[in-house]
Chain A
Amino acid sequence: MIVIGERINGMFKKVREAIQKKDAAAIQDLARRQVAAGADALDLNVGTASTDHVADMVWLVNTVQAVVSVPLSVDSARPEPLEAGLAAVKGKRMLNSTTGKEVDLGRLLPLAKRYDASVIGLTIDEEGVPANVDKRVEIAAKILAAAQDAGIPTDALYIDPITLPVNCAQDQPQHLFQAMQQFRMLSDPPPHTCIGLSNISQRLAEHQLLNRTFLIMCMAWGLDSAIMDPLDEELMRAMITAELLNNRFIYADSYLEAYKKH
């Protein structure tokens, strides 16, 4: 399971304030703690309130890579901060994200190729977020084909079937499970599958339990990466245990603590 730490995101008040004040120590603390807790990569998002997305993204990248060496996921809905962020990353990088829209595929995949970045591809197209399984798989196939045409290897592609809050769309998790299973049949090797986990529980009372349970169910259907909170200890313990039950590593009594030594 590839854990992409979600905590450095301007939608969180403290992160937004740290970005505004250029409080590097606060951001670096979050970066270190997430990596220590088991994050394999860190997502960086300046948030919608930023007044200069490009400058803030470059600052985030430099601030974070000064203290940790994991891959960085440059997360923005705009192409300019994506490009500036990717250019600033010194190590492995990830573009988060493209959609299946022609315009995005046309400008973002070449960008990913140029910076040798992995790509998260959202199953959204010109018609919006699909409400069913087939359309999700169709968009995933379109993104996969476009990525292959752009010279991006399949193991650098992460398909995100779009997670919606469970109270808004209670039938969607079922669609996601089936879509994730079908993504695995699109190619050999298959693309990775990724979700923005906390979307399932946004502003809901039992958000940690919802996140935890949803993650485990997704993993049973083939999910192999998530943008999630590695500082949620129970979530990480459940994730590691699901990895064990998926036969990803050999059991030992201390498997929880051994996981980070993988």
Chain B
Amino acid sequence: MAVPDVRETYSGKVVTVTLGATAAEGGTRSVVVTLGGHASLPFLHFEGETRPPAIALEVMDAPPEGSEWPAPLAQAYGDAVADPVRWARKCVEEFGADLVCLHLVSTHPDRGGASAAKARETVLAVRDAVKVPLMVWGCDEDAKDNEVLPVVSQALAGERCLLGMATKDNYKTLTAACLADGHAIVGLSPLDINIAKQMNILIADMGLPPERIVMYPTTGALGYGLEYTYSIMERGRLAALAGDRMMAMPVLCIVGPESWGTKEARSDEVAGWGPAADRGPLWEAVTGTVLLQAGADIMLMRHPAAVKAVRGAIAGLAKGKEVQP
């Protein structure tokens, strides 16, 4: 008896977003990272083109504070966290990051409120220190981001960075900056697929093409809404593959910060939970491995052991199909 062919084919395709520009393209990166381009669900390369996600590592522009940087992270990064340039180099040279995400935490009013000029200085120093594509994440305080991010955007003009976050109530300034300086943008939605689509429509209406938009549908870590994140990402991807062009953008997952924000990853006080040194990286690795299969295109991560585990999972899932981001 013949075995029925159950492979699915889809009419739509996720757009391709390219980050980083080489000297020939007007930037200074030595590599570029390509996201998206999927014609099937994640890793089902026997059905159509699909591309594994890139891994970005987070670099804060000021040393992390207290509980946000538990012991396993402190051990992995040591005193590199005192200097964003050393931190970024470590991410690329030791931990193999595909991208560096510079998180401008120090610009937040509650964290010293560093000036746009200071942020510009840091961003340029990191740009010169590493040659992988850059993502820059503001401080999530609208007024301050609107002051800082356009300055940073202009400083990085031509580098084809990924800048975030645009939100439903605050997207115009950042979109205009990305348009002017040749960057891609991250549109944030709070675990809400309707707002995710609306963000894409709003940004596209300002003239930024879909090939320069990345969705951040909000990541819930293991035990904190991971299933919900998964189902929203999957539904969005299925809509994109069915032809909804306003859902056909690559997806960012903030795996590291969300995983390390859970008490299960951080706590070393609960008897029976096992050694914290393993538990935290595992929490991040499991969260990341699940989201791989939901359709993550960039995973923002923290712990090198978790990165290694996720890379291993990617290699296993992509077996027989050699496609590097």
Contacts and interface: CB of A to CB of B under 8 A. Distances in A.
Interface of A: 249-254, 257-258, 261-262
A254 B244 contact: no
B209 to A, nearest CB: 11
Contact of A250 (B204, B205, B244): B244
Interface of B: 193-195, 197-198, 201-202, 204-205, 235-236, 239, 243-247
B204 A261 contact: yes
A251 B201 contact: no
B194 A252 contact: yes
A251 B239 CA distance: 11
Given A257-B201, A257-B205, 13 more contacts: A250-B194, A250-B197, A251-B197, A252-B194, A252-B197, A252-B198, A252-B201, A253-B194, A253-B198, A254-B198, A258-B246, A262-B245, A262-B246
A262 B244 contact: yes
Contacts of A249: 239, 244
Contacts of B204: 261
Nearest to B243: A262
Contacts of B239: 249-250
Contacts of A254: 198, 201-202, 205
Contacts of B247: 250
A162 B39 CA distance: 38
Nearest to B204: A261
A253 B202 CA distance: 10
8 contacts: A249-B239, A250-B197, A250-B247, A253-B198, A258-B197, A261-B245, A262-B244, A262-B246
A250 B194 CA distance: 7
B196 to A, nearest CB: 8
A254 B205 CA distance: 10
A258 B239 CA distance: 14
Contacts of A250: 193-194, 197, 235-236, 239, 244, 247
Nearest to B210: A261
B309 to A, nearest CB: 33
A258 B194 CA distance: 12
A246 to B, nearest CB: 13
A261 B198 CA distance: 12
A204 to B, nearest CB: 36
Contacts of B244: 249-250, 262
Contacts of B193: 250
Most buried by B among A250, A257, A258: A250
A81 to B, nearest CB: 32
Contact of A251 (B194, B236, B245): B194
Contacts of A261: 201, 204, 245-246
Contacts of A257: 201, 205
Most buried by A among B205, B245, B246: B246
A254 B200 CA distance: 10
Most buried by A among B195, B204, B239, B244: B244
Nearest to A253: B198
A236 to B, nearest CB: 17
A252 B205 CA distance: 14
B165 to A, nearest CB: 18
A92 to B, nearest CB: 15
B14 to A, nearest CB: 15
